[in-house]
Chain A
Amino acid sequence: MDLDIREFEEVCRDLYVRALKILPPDIKAGFADLQRAETSATGRAILDTMVENVAVAERTKNILCQDTGIPIYNVVIGADVRFDGAALKAAIRRGCERATKEFSLRSSVVHPITRKNEQTSCGIRVPIIHVDFDDRPETVAVEMIPKGSGSENGSFLQMLLPSDGIGAAKRFVIDRVIELGGRVCPPTIVGVGLGGTSDLCMHLAKVAATRPLRSVCSDPEGARIEAELSRAVNELGIGPQGLGGRSTSFAVHVELAATHITQNPVAVNIQCHSARRARATFTPGGIAFE
């Protein structure tokens, strides 16, 4: 399969807008689960308002949240696909910029020193692009995540010692969730990275935070910890928007990697309740959006 780069650019533009407007079905189902379990009247009222907002956005064709985020594109290239890598990255950048200009989106991206906003949602190394490969025949998948800043500011890395054990990593997660309280727009998805190097650990936390609800860590030990922490965070009482209640998080997700004998790294990255993402898959049969 040849990847049509002009078509790819159009899709990258459309995915940014789709992600901002349409909440994925797993997050909608997650809201319904939290509404059923919430015992605080304030917490229930806040969850109801969040669900109402999703309906208002669909009805008024508006975006869900004013924060257009930092744009992230995750591309996975399958087998037997011909493409030009540099052209692919340039197409993502053009698609992101075109979405911002053609749909008058707020550009939320600035230079880190001068704080200059180019009004394009682009800047040095932004949009963030990850390219990976798998063995699916003649398939290219692209996922767009507008990562909101209120929750992205809830990011932590700790290079724990092997003698601290996995228990210290669990305490670290609980204590960071407590420290963040309502600032990260709960209910959240708490992304936890375990192992790897410092940079990989932080990346794993982001992968975990942006994974669909009800998906499970592929490692059985990681899966056990995410079930345990998912229960625990909702016993803290932080609740929606930090105003009390059970619904602190939809879930805690864990992703892990092997690490060095001297290391025991743990990272936390939070996804707010506006857990936006959009995907498209290119195959010889056409383009499917989800």
Chain B
Amino acid sequence: MGPWIALAVGGLWAAGIFLLLRRSLVKAVLGLALLGYATNLLLVAAAGAARRAAPIVPPGAEALPAGAADPVPQALVLTAIVIGFGVQAFVLVLLKRLHAETGSDDLDHLEGRGP
């Protein structure tokens, strides 16, 4: 499981960076979204991908059973997803405003060099 997640994280990062380096701002936003997903996956994997049982202490026991997932990274990922959602919404509105102002989503037209 671990190597596959590592590959997925690496692939998503690569795709995200590739999109960020494009001139089109729409692609840059998609790239940022991919980077966000990759990082969330990384956070889950960092806690150990093999530990997948629900982190509930059984009645009568004092500690979590072996193989229980660590709940902390899941809380972190949840926070990161919420923050990422808000930020992406803002970026989309910013892009829409920029498109209304310049009629283009090309980085080269930002400074008024284009049409």
Chains A and B come from one and the same complex: no
